[in-house]
Structure 1
Amino acid sequence: MATILTMPPEVMMNVLERLDPFCLESVAKTLNSHLYYPAIQLLTPRKAWIENARAMCKLFSPRGSRGVLPSYPGYLPVLADHHLVRDEIPRRDYQGLGLDQDSGPYVRSSPPDFQSWIALDGTFGWLLPLEKEIADEMEPHTGREGTRPVASKPQIEGLVAKAEELGLKLPAGFETFLASDRFHHRIPSYSAWYFKLSKLVKCPSSVDNGDRGYIVRFYWDQQACAFAYLYLSRAGHHCILTSMLDLYEEMELDEEEIEDGHEGEGDVDKLDVVMVALTFEEYLAMVYYEELLEFLAKPFKGLCNYVGHTYMSPTK
Structure 2
Amino acid sequence: MKLNGLATDLAAKGLSLPQDFVTFQTTENLYGSLDEVSVTGCWTDLSAPLSSPVEPDAFLVRFFRDQQDCVIWYLYLRPMSEAFVVYSDLDYEIEYEARRDGEETQTDLEDAEEQRAAILWCAPSFEEFANRFWLENRLWHAVNDGELPVLEPRLQDYLNHYASPGAPV
TM-score, structure 1 normalization: 0.43
Of the candidates 25, 41, 52, which is equivalent to residue 192 of structure 1? 41
Deviations 1:243-292 (A, max 9, x none): 111122222269xxxxxxxxxx9336221121011111100001000101
- How many angstroms does 1:214 deviate by? 0.5
Q: Distance in 1 between matches of 2:39 and 2:16?
A: 32
Greater C-alpha Rg = 1
**What is the CA–CA distance in structure 2 between the aligned matches of 1:195 and 1:253, rounded to whole Å?**
22
Q: Among residues 10, 15, 20, which one is paired with 1:168 in the alignment? A: 15
Q: Could you say which residue in structure 2 is the equivalent of 1:88?
A: none
Q: 1:312 Cα deviation (Å)?
A: 3.1
- The residue aligned with 1:222 is 67
Aligned counterparts of 2:155 and 2:97: Cα–Cα separation in 1 = 41
1:176 positional shift: 2.2
Aligned to 1:285, what secondary structure does the other structure show?
helix
The structure richer in helix per residue is 2
Q: Which residue of 1 aligns with 2:5?
A: 158
Could you list the runs of 5+ residues in structure 2 that have no partner in the other structure?
100-107
Listed as ranges, the matches of 1:262-301 within 5 Å are: 266-267=109-110, 269=114, 270-296=116-142, 298-301=150-153
User: CA 1:307–1:217 in structure 2 vs 1: closer, same or farther (change >3 Å)?
Assistant: same
Residue 165 (structure 1) shift? 2.6
- Matched position secondary structure for 2:32: helix
Deviations 1:198-256 (A, max 9, x none): 11121113xxxx342011001001122220000001122211111111122222269xx
Identity rate, percent = 26
Amino acid at match of 2:97: E
Q: Is the 8 A contact 1:169 1:236 kept in 2?
A: no
Equivalent pairs, count:
148
| In structure 1, C-alpha distance between the alignment counterparts of 2:32 and 2:163, rounded to whole Å | 26
CA RMSD of aligned residues (A): 2.4
- Output aligned runs, 1:1-316, within 5 Å: 153=1, 155-187=2-34, 188-205=37-54, 210-252=55-97, 266-267=109-110, 269=114, 270-296=116-142, 298-314=150-166
Counterpart of 1:160 in structure 2: which amino acid?
A
Structure number with the bigger relative contact order (C-alpha 8 A, sep ≥ 6) is: 1
Q: What is the identity, as a one-letter code, of the residue corresponding to 2:44?
A: F
Find the aligned partners of 1:278 and 1:310 in 2 and give their Cα distance: 19
Deviations 1:115-153 (A, max 9, x none): xxxxxxxxxxxxxxxxxxxxxxxxxxxxxxxxxxxxxx2
Deviates more, 1:214-223 or 1:156-165: 156-165
Kept in 2, the 8 Å contact 1:227–1:245? The answer is yes
Q: Could you state the TM-score of these two structures normalised by the residue count of structure 2?
A: 0.76
